[in-house]
Each structure stands twice: as C-alpha cells, then as structure tokens.
Amino acid sequence: MRKNILITGASSGLGEGMARQFAAKGCNLALCARRMEPMQALKADIEASYPNVKVFIRELDVCNYPQVFEVFRAFQQDMGSIDRVIVNAGMGKGASLGTGYFEANRRTAETNFIGALAQCEAALEIFREQNSGHLVTVSSMSAVRGMPRAINIYAATKAGLRTMSEGIRADVLGTPIKVSCILPGFILTPINKDLKKAPLRVDLETGCKALVKAIDKEPAEAKVPAWPWVPMGVVMKFAPLKFIAKMT
C-alpha cells in the first residue's frame, strides 16, 4: 500500500475529493495549492474524522518553479518518504484563438504543462533517490482529440501531459518507479461547472471514488469512470471532427 501521498491542487475539486478518499483508506497526506484557507479546513476535517491520518499542508503555485522543488522536498522531510505523487493542479481558462484571450490561454498552457513538468521533475528526483514511488498525472478525456473554443488549449495541454507521462514511463521501465496517467471524463469540478455541454457528467464524490480505485491499481493509463469513458474514448478517437465540435 502507498501510505504517504502528495496531491497538488488540493484546495478544491478532484484534489480535495481524492484527499478525502485516500484519508478514508488510512493514507497520510501532503496537500498543496495556492489557497491555504480551504486546505486548512480540509486538514481539520480529515484529522477530526481520521485521527490516525497525518495531514501536512503547504502553499504552492506550480508556476513558481523553484517553489515546486522546495515544497516537495519539505513534504519528504515531513513524512520521511513519499510513496505517491499525484500531479493534479491545473486550470481551464481560455477562449478560441484569435479572439483576444492570449493571456488566459497562455496561463492555462503554462500551468497545465510547464507546471506539470516541474512537478514531475521534483517527484522523480525524490523517487530516483528512494528507488521507489508512483507518479500519477491527471490528464483528461479531452486529450484524446483536439477540442474547440474554450477547451482548445486545455485539451492540448492535457494531450501533452499524456505524452510526457508515457515518455517518463518508458524512461523508468523495469525500475521500482511506476507511472500512471489518468484521463477523467466529466466529473463535476470548478473547472467544468460552467460548461453548457458536459455529457455523462458525474458528481465529485462518485468521480473521486473511481479515480482513487483506478490509481490504486497503478495502471499505465486509465479512463475514469471506466463506463462510459472507455467506449467513449474509441468514439472520440475515430469520430468526424464535426462530431467533436459539438461536444462542448
């Protein structure tokens, strides 16, 4: 069992939901995000519900790259070792290219890809020293195809993260370091709550239970929830672009 788990983007959404699910399984948690107040409330809630679970929290902006390495190392010192890192922090702001929203698109691209790169680098430095660990990257079903309008850059970054994760997995193949890329479907979070079209969306608790169950199996890749997103992944991959354009 992976006992000590670090989760980024843990102040809300999937990060918060996964933290609660892992706490229920008796895992110690290292939680970080830009907003401390929600994490302080989360820490208090988890420790009250599960007195044997240790929860450490730190502020982290994943686009502050030196801070990523500092925070991960500090958590390693807190816990003695880190068994699993879940690269979850991300954002979904943006708009169609050429409509005056470059800064929003740039921020999403930097957070979701370069920020994820920094997290993967920091995690793997620790895992290589330990000669063990499980790196989990949270991509998206939108990574399967190019997506229009506000989701374009978000989907592109998640596709890049998916490819990078496979490259890391190839790099550590045959070692005690494991790498999993998780592709969530529509799970209700602050990122997608305003989407007018979110087919087959599930509530946060249901989605996070499925995420944790998939992560604990340590697959190379998993579409979550498996139903309906495994067959939907096939549809998305081969469907005409005009079908994809109507999905969001």
Q: Give the residue numbers marked as catalytic.
A: 154
How do 55-59 and 177-184 pair as beta strands? unpaired
E strand intervals along 51-144: 55-59, 84-87, 133-138
178: nearest Cα among 76, 72, 84, 68: 84
Would you say how long the chain is, in residues? 248
Its sign, for the CA torsion 66, 68, 74, 80, is negative
**In which residue are the tokens 């939108």 written?**
142
CA distance 86 to 7: 5
Q: Do residues 43 and 121 lie in contact, with contact meaning Cβ atoms separated by under 8 Å?
A: no
d(CA 19, CA 28): 9
Task: List 137's β-bridge partners, or say none.
Answer: 87, 181
Q: Which of 239, 206, 199 is nearest to 225 (CA)?
A: 206
How far apart CA 49 and CA 3 sit, in angstroms, is 17
Contact (CB, 8 A) for 76 and 82: yes
- Cα separation, 102 vs 109, whole angstroms: 10
